[in-house]
Amino acid sequence: MVRLSILLAGCLLDAVLGDPYRLPHPIRWMGRLIAWMEKTLRPRFPKTAQSERTGGTVMVLLVLALTIGCTAFLLYICKRFSFWLWWAVSAVICYYMLAARSLAGESGKVYRALQSGTLEEAREAVSRIVGRDTAQLDRAGVARAAVETVAENTSDGVVAPLVYMAIGGPVWGVAYKAVNTMDSMVGYHNEKYENWGRTAAKLDDLVNFLPARLAGALMCAAAPLCGLDGRSAWRVFRRDRLNHKSPNSAHTEAACAGALHLRLGGNSFYFGKLVEKPTIGDDLRPIQPEDIRRANRLMAVTACLTAALAGLGLLLCEVLLA
C-alpha cells in the first residue's frame, strides 16, 4: 500500500501542478549531466566507429550510475530521518518523472495558436515539443505534429514511467527517465551520433519494448471511453504499430490515428534533411486543431487506465505476499 500511495500521490501532483518550470527539475539536471559527460568523454575516444560506440557506452553507464546512486542515497538519508519525509520525497520524485500535465499544456498552446493566432505563432509553439523542422509546416502540418507528439509521448512520458515506478519505485522511474533522456539527446541516426548514441538508443528500445505495446493497447481501450472509435483504434494499432524505424514509437500513434480517423506519420524534415517515414492510419478526414484536444483526452484516459492497472497489480502483489 505504501508504494501505491506514493505512486498515486505523484500522479495527483502531476495532474494538478504539471512541470514546475521555475523550480529545479531532475530531468533538466539529467540533461546537463548528459551534455557534460559527452563534452568530457568525446575527446578521450578516437573518432572511429568502434571507439565512439565504446565512449557512448561509458557515458550511458556513468549517467545511470550517478542518477540511480544519487536517488537511492537521497531516499536512504530521508528514511533515516523520517518515514514521512521519505514518503514525501518519493512522491515528489514520482511526480517529476511524469509529463502528462505539461504535455497537455504545451500542446494546448499549439491548439490556441491555431485557433486564434498566426501560423508563425503556431509553428513556434509546436517547435517546443517536436524534434522535426517546423518552419515549412502549414496549419494541418502543425496540428498533425502536435497530435503525433501527444500520442507518442503518452508512452514514454506517462505509461512507461508509471510501469517502472509501480515495479521498482522512484529509483526505477529515475533510471527509466535517464535512459529516455539520453536517447532524446544522443540517439540520432546522423553523422554526429550514429555511433556515439548507439548504446543509448538500443537501451531505450529495450526498456520501452513492453511499455510501448501496453500503452498502445490501453489507448485502444481508452478510445471508446473518450467517445472515439475503439474498433478503428484496435484495427489500425494491429496493422500499423510497426510502421516506424523505431520498434516502439508507432504503437500509440497507430492507436491514436485509428481512434481519430486520421493519417499520421509520413515524411518530415529533421536538421534540414528529409527523413522518409511510412504513414500511420487512414486518411478518412482532414486533421483539425480540435484533434489536439481529442488526443489529450485520449492520453489522459490512457494514463488513468495505466494507474488503475498499476494499482491493481500492486494490491494483488500485497495480497499474494501477505
Query: What is the spatial distance between Cα 25 and Cα 20, in angstroms, rounded to a whole number?
Result: 8
pLDDT tens-digit readout, 106-125: 999 999 999 988 889 999 99
User: What percent of the chain is predicted at pLDDT more than 90?
Assistant: 76
pLDDT computed for residue 299 by the predictor: 97
CA 28, 30, 31, 37 torsion-angle sign: positive
Q: Quote the CA–CA distance of 281 and 259 in Å, as a whole number.
A: 9
> Is the pLDDT score of 128 beyond 70?
yes
How is residue 273 written as a grid cell? 534533411
pLDDT surpassing 70 at residue 271: no
pLDDT class for 192, splitting at 50, 70, 90? Answer: confident
Environment class of 183 (CB within 10 Å of its CB; exposed 0-12, middle 13-18, buried 19+): buried
Helices (H), 136-159: 139-154
What is the Cα Rg of the chain in Å?
A: 20
Confidence tier at 15 by pLDDT (50, 70, 90): very high
d(CA 219, CA 149): 14
Per-residue pLDDT at 22 exceeds 80? no
Q: Supply 7's cell numbers.
A: 505512486
- β-pairing, 263-265 vs 279-281, is antiparallel
Mean local confidence (pLDDT), 49-67: 96
Summarize the confidence of residues 225-234 as an average pLDDT. Answer: 96
Whole-model pTM? 0.93
* Band of pLDDT at residue 2, cut at 50, 70 and 90: confident
Please give the average per-residue pLDDT across 156-175, as a whole number.
Answer: 96
The residue among 8 and 318 whose pLDDT is bigger is 8
- Do you know the residue count of the chain? 322
Nearest Cα residue to 18 out of 126, 96, 120:
96
Q: What pLDDT was estimated at residue 315?
A: 86
Which residue from 215, 265, 207 is spatially nearest to 240, judged by alpha carbons? 265
**How would residue 171 be classed by pLDDT, with cut points 50, 70 and 90?**
very high
- If you average pLDDT over residues 31-41, what whole number do you get? 95
Across the chain, what does the average pLDDT equal?
92
Per-residue pLDDT band at 322 (split at 50, 70, 90): low
The mean pLDDT value for 196-213 works out to: 96
Cell numbers placing 267: 515524411
Question: Does 267 have pLDDT greater than 80?
Answer: no
DSSP secondary structure string for all residues of 59-73: HHHHHHHHHHHHHHH
Band of residue 135 on the pLDDT scale cut at 50, 70, 90: confident
Q: Which residues contact 316 (CB under 8 A, 6 or more apart)?
A: none
Give the residue-averaged pLDDT of 93-99.
95
